[in-house]
Structure 1
Amino acid sequence: MPDMDMMGGGMMAAMGIWALVLIATVLAILVAAVLASIWLVRRLRHDRTMLRDGTDAADILQRRYAAGEIDDDEYQRRRSTLSRP
Structure 2
Amino acid sequence: MDSYQELELVVDKMVEEFSRIKKENEQLWKQVQQSQQKLEEAELKIRELELRLESESKTISSLIKRVKVSLDENSKKT
TM range (shorter): 0.5 to 0.7
| Residue from 13, 33, 37 that aligns with 2:44 | 37
1:14 counterpart residue number: 21
Q: Give 1:32's aligned amino acid.
A: L
| Residue from 57, 60, 79 that aligns with 2:64 | 57
* Structure 1 unpaired stretches of 5+: 69-85
Structure 2 length normalisation: TM-score? 0.66
Greater helix content: 2
* Aligned alpha-carbon RMSD (Å): 2.0
The Cα offsets for residues 12-57 of structure 1, whole Å up to 9 and x where unpaired, read as 1111121122111111111010011011112113320325xxx733
- Percent identity over the alignment is 6
How many residues in Structure 1 have an aligned counterpart in Structure 2? 65
Structure with bigger RCO (C-alpha 8 Å, 6+ apart): 1
